[in-house]
Amino acid sequence: MADYELIVGFEVHAELATATKIFCGCSTEPGAPANTHTCPVCLGLPGVLPVLNGAALEHAVRVALACHCGISSPSIFERKNYYYPDLPKNYQVSQKRAPFGVDGWFDLEVDGTVKRISIVDIHLEEDAGKLVHPEERSAAGYSLVDFNRAGVPLLEVVSGPDLRSVAEAEAYMTAMRRLLQYLGASDARMELGQIRFEANISVRPVGTETLGKRVEIKNLNSFRTVTRAIEYEMARQIDLYERGGAVAQETRLWDDARGETQAMRSKEESHDYRYFPEPDLVPMVFTDAYLADLAAKLPELPAARRTRFIEAFGLPEYDAAILTGEKTIADFVDAAVALGANPKTVSNWIMGEALRLLNEKGLAPDALPITPRALADLIALVDDGKINANQAKQVFAEMFDSGAAPEEIVKARGFAQISDVSALAAIVDAVVAANPDAAAKYTAGDDKPLGFLVGQVMKQSRGQANAPVVNALIRKKLRGE
């Protein structure tokens, strides 16, 4: 069997983080009761006039600038015509011949090397409503439509066919989601469908240059699903070629339960969209000054922030990558440091206890239930010698569960730290006397019993001893160090 190369491009759809829909004042808040966020405009009633949401436009242009796109000016909206019950007007307002962003690029880091991915276009469109298919057998004859989502601003970022492995595809999805979040353009929460991926997949024998027939995969609603679908589709296409068959250029749906892709049943005709300029929306024209101003105001993006965490905070590369991987976590670190906490200590808490507890409770990083203020205060309590490291961990866990301030927890639990040298020296004397074997071994140069002896002192002090002081006392007493 010849070696095949995987070729993947993505269409990323992201709901923009605006308060209102793209062409009307209906709220975009998710989770509202069915059809309570609708009006004559987003229901497509006759005689209405859509007006573009300025915030949606600005988000779209900022993302296009961050992806180094050329900006079409004038830029126009067009009608994409097709019939589907989730589309009240029987056309979707979208962009085709003059989208906001064209011919950009995106630097993707995979395994330490940077690969430049081309961005073909970035355009703005309106989301469709949501279809509900009742499960009961008696309901087999109908579907239900909720138009709350119809008209939510949707940004589509189309990449070139530049990704060559599953690892690159995964890195691209993660990085694009992160970019949108850093720009504040989209909350991009997968579980709410705020970011959705369509993958264009083809394969070709290694060493050849022509692109094979590509297959578009829809219905991918998690990173895991995309990975599985790419792996499945790659194997399916290679198998077809190996058996002398041909891959049809088509759209296939991912069936998660079966773990396979299936050809869509819809007819060829439905893809003849007959785009034409939307007469109800006037063109957008951008001055160089406006674009330069938006570009200058772009926030610090993930790569720059990671470099800053390494250079200004002295964090290891790995830690900086994890911390800046989620904007909310990176914001948390910056906020805690701004409150006076040591960056490395903040990093240790996040990399250790915070991520461990989030993971244990199955929470997303943006659900971190403590505030930067609380962590900074906790770190100060440790730095000031008020509590020891062990107690701090317990306080952190309780902060995580109850949201209480660290001082309150310390007070309620009666935590205190014994740092007084004479008080601790007395306990050390007693522990050494009670454990002559361990003490003798340590004196003789074996380091192992130290941990045991410190532990005994901690126990005697009911966990309140200042561990570094105890360490120093034992070393001094038994080794004269």
Partner 1 sequence: MALSREEIAHVALLSRLHFTEEELARFTEQMNDILLHFETLQEADTSAIAATTHVVPMVNVLRDDVPCPSLPPDTALANAPERVDDLFKVPRVVE
Binding site for partner 1 (CB under 8 A): 18-20, 24-27, 33-40, 43, 45, 51-57, 74, 76, 81, 83-85, 131-133, 140-147, 253, 264-266, 269, 272, 274, 277, 279, 281-285
From CA 239, how far away is CA 243, in angstroms rounded?
Answer: 6
From CA 386, how far away is CA 379, in angstroms rounded?
Answer: 10
From CA 449, how far away is CA 471, in angstroms rounded?
Answer: 12
Residues within window 62-81 making contact with Zn ion, judged by CB under 5 A: none
134/245 with CB nearer partner 1 = 134
From CA 118, how far away is CA 267, in angstroms rounded?
Answer: 31
Contacts 24+ apart (CB under 8 A), 24-27: 24/50, 24/51, 24/151, 26/148, 26/151
Instruction: Choose, by CB under 5 A, the member of 6, 12, 17, 24 that binds Zn ion.
Output: 24
Residues within window 26-55 making contact with Zn ion, judged by CB under 5 A: 26, 39, 41-42
**Least CB distance from residue 249 to partner 1, whole Å?**
18
**Least CB distance from residue 14 to partner 1, whole Å?**
17
**Least CB distance from residue 397 to partner 1, whole Å?**
40
**Least CB distance from residue 90 to Zn ion, whole Å?**
17
**Least CB distance from residue 21 to partner 1, whole Å?**
9
131/338 with CB nearer partner 1 = 131
By CB under 5 A, residue 93 contacts Zn ion: no
26/108 with CB nearer Zn ion = 26
83/243 with CB nearer partner 1 = 83
Strand 101-110 and strand 113-126: pairing?
antiparallel
**Alpha helix positions (H), 163-287:** 166-182, 223-242
Residue with the two structure tokens 């991912």: 254
91/332 with CB nearer partner 1 = 91
274/411 with CB nearer partner 1 = 274
From CA 422, how far away is CA 190, in angstroms rounded?
Answer: 57
**Least CB distance from residue 188 to Zn ion, whole Å?**
23
**Least CB distance from residue 135 to partner 1, whole Å?**
12
CA of residue 356 relative to chain centroid, distance = 18
440 binds, among partner 1, Zn ion, none (CB under 5 to 8 A by kind): none
371 binds, among partner 1, Zn ion, none (CB under 5 to 8 A by kind): none
Opening angle at CA 278, ends 276 and 282, nearest 5: 135
Residues within window 335-354 making contact with Zn ion, judged by CB under 5 A: none
For residue 8, give the nearest of 153, 95, 108, 111 by alpha carbon: 108
17/42 with CB nearer Zn ion = 42
47 binds, among partner 1, Zn ion, none (CB under 5 to 8 A by kind): none
184 binds, among partner 1, Zn ion, none (CB under 5 to 8 A by kind): none
Contacting residues for 56 by C-beta, under 8 A, at least 6 apart: 16, 18, 22, 124, 153
By CB under 5 A, residue 22 contacts Zn ion: no
Contacting residues for 48 by C-beta, under 8 A, at least 6 apart: 40, 41
Contacting residues for 286 by C-beta, under 8 A, at least 6 apart: 61, 71, 73, 75
Buried b vs exposed e over 228-245: b needs ≥16 C-beta within 10 Å?
A: bbbebbbebbbeebeeee
Give the interface with Zn ion as residue ranges (CB under 5 A).
24, 26, 39, 41-42
